[in-house]
Amino acid sequence: MQTKHIIITLVCFLTVVNSEAQFLKKLKKKAQNAIERTILNRTDKEVSKGTNNTIDSITKGGKDKKDNSKTIGETEKNLDKKEKQIPTGTEFENPSLKKNTDAKWAWYTSDVRVTSYDKQKESNMVSYFDADAVAMRSDYVDQETGAPLTSYTDSEGFFISYNPREQRYTKTSLFAMPGMSMMAPSMMASAYKLPEGTIFEGMEAMEKQGLAVYPFMHVDFPFVIRPEHFRDEMIADRYKESQIACRGSMDCSKFSVVESGHEGSYILFDNQNRLIEINIVIKNDPYFESGKGKIEYFYENVEVQVPAAVEKKMFGQDLLKKGMENN
């Protein structure tokens, strides 16, 4: 797997669904990397046992939720221009939300709009996370054809997209398999210089709550990391903390990465201790090479409706899953 693609790992994952043959060719290597990263994170977790418990404040609460099963005719007036492009007559349903519902609502406590940008590929993606539906819609551009695309992810980690050949929505749980679901967050934590021990603790907490592990990848980060994680004595020397103005507030917390080759990288929190920006600058890193990117988080009301979809397994998926579970 080419390390120069790490900054837009999620975009790569989304676009390869439309090129199954190319994806399968690289799948074995990605699976091996997933296992290696999991082992490394387990080691990091043991070293970082002094890190504060980061999950308690997240796993509280709950609220009344809305029914997410509607047809296009019932909801079209509430959809934006891009969503109106979905085929007429499309039905919406969210069966994954029926599984472990209360735990999901306790964990995911706010709606978020997330924008991400990769300078090398001049690529943009906007993701809309709905805490009521515990589902995400992502709008992006196919890097090969330039065509605009929309996909969905639900709370069990199903990736859902429209299949023009079959003229229906299909879904795959490939990325939610053991190892695969942790691979992207682990790689992102390393590339973006996030506290890897905290990311791994988030994984363990999700598993303990019966949740899918990082089903929304980088969109899961606001529900895991907080400013205090960067102040932990075991990793505090990796960052330089400062208070700056941002989004109308004078007391935002900025953690600048001090590691050589990552000058210019920082993680920013607002005055409510919410993650609002990850700025990535990588220069000649032995693992990730060079690149620039930015992820921004905006806490605003979002509505996502999940299209009804038929599960479609990729060739060899069951065999791969069995092999990864045995490791």
11 phi and psi angles, rounded to 5 deg:
-60, -40
75 pLDDT band, cuts 50/70/90, is very low
Q: Which residue has the tokens 């735990």?
A: 103
| Mean pLDDT of all residues belonging to the chain | 75
* Contact between residue 179 and residue 27 where contact means Cβ atoms under 8 Å apart: no
CB atoms closer than 10 angstroms to residue 102 = 10
Express as a percent the part of the chain with pLDDT over 70. Answer: 65
pLDDT of residue 61: 36
Half-sphere exposure of 127 (CA within 13 A, CB side): 25
More confident residue, 312 or 307: 307
The more confident residue out of 118 and 258 is 258
pLDDT > 60? residue 21: no
pLDDT for residue 320 is more than 80 = no
Query: Which tops the pLDDT comparison, 219 or 312?
Result: 219
Residue 239: the pLDDT is: 97
pLDDT value for 181? 63
Asked if 256 and 265 count as a contact pair (C-beta separation under 8 A), the reply is: yes
pLDDT, tens digit (0-9, with 9 covering 90-100), for 41-50: 433 333 333 2
Following DSSP, what letter does each residue of 196-259 receive, concatenated?
A: HHHHHHHHHHHHHTT--SSTTGGGGGGGT--HHHHH-TTTGGGEEEEEEEETTEEEEEEEEE-S
Q: Which residues sit opposite 182 in a β-bridge?
A: none
Rounded Cα–Cα distance for residues 214 and 218 (Å): 8
DSSP 119: T
Reduced DSSP (H G I as helix, E B as strand, rest coil) percent helix, strand, coil of the chain, to 5: 35, 25, 40
Residue 183: beta bridge partners?
Answer: none
User: What pLDDT shows up at residue 105?
Assistant: 98
Helices (H), 140-195: 180-192
The pTM assigned to this predicted structure is 0.74
